């Protein structure tokens, strides 16, 4: 099957339930983790920059249950039962973008966000920065579009049209800019 069209996740995959200190508490299906107000589970967000210092943004596929068609960070997902963050991030970079990348962990935080009747995010999310080199080939079962933007272009877009972006991305970008600016400047120009 072509890597650009294959399904890489399902509502039945088991995610890792955690407490606010990121201690593992058990497992539950992705569907259950996102139903109603959600159940706190481990997640990650990757911010990948090209050599020009531009951030790779993805537009989530229209078929996504939560925030379909919204713009978000380069790659985000969840470790599955039995996976470390290192294994899960590498898997999703391959699954979504058909690339490998070197990434560095920056911080983690808890957040919740509701998407109407469709469900909620209730996550302890680990945020990473990294560099992308070479061709990015998005998997269209996960991503409708990609684009690279400068930090200034992103700031302008978030100020003028925040409702086009996922809530976790908006929050993560703000924290990266305000609290981790020195680390961010190693990647973004």
Residues annotated catalytic, as ranges: 76, 123
What is the distance between the alpha carbons of residues 132 and 88, in angstroms, rounded to a whole number? 17
User: Exposed, middle or buried by CB within 10 Å (0-12, 13-18, 19+), for 9?
Assistant: middle
Strand runs labelled E in the chain: 14-18, 24-29, 41-49, 55-60, 71-72, 75-77, 103-114, 120-131, 143-149
**Cβ(87)–Cβ(13) below 8 Å:** no
With b for 16 or more beta-carbon neighbours within 10 A and e for fewer, the 77-104 pattern comes to bbbbeebebeebbeebbebbbebebebe
């Amino acid at each position: 099957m072509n890597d650009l069209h294959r399904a890489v996740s399902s509502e039945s995959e088991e995610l890792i339930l955690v407490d606010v200190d990121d201690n593992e508490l058990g497992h539950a299906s992705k569907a259950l983790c996102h139903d109603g107000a959600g159940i706190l589970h481990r997640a990650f967000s990757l911010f990948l920059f090209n050599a020009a210092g531009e951030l790779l943004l993805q537009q989530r596929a229209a078929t996504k249950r939560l925030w379909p068609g919204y713009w978000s960070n380069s790659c985000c997902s969840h470790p599955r039962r039995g996976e470390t963050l290192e294994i899960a991030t590498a898997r999703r970079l391959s699954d979504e973008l058909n690339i490998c990348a070197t990434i560095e962990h920056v911080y983690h935080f808890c957040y919740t966000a509701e998407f109407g009747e469709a469900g909620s995010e209730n996550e302890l999310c680990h945020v990473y920065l990294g560099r992308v080199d070479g061709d990015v080939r998005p998997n269209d079962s996960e991503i409708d579009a990609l684009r690279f933007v400068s930090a200034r272009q992103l700031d302008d877009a978030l100020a003028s049209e925040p409702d086009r972006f996922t809530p976790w991305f908006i929050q993560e970008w703000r924290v990266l800019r305000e609290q981790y600016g020195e680390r961010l400047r190693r990647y973004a120009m």
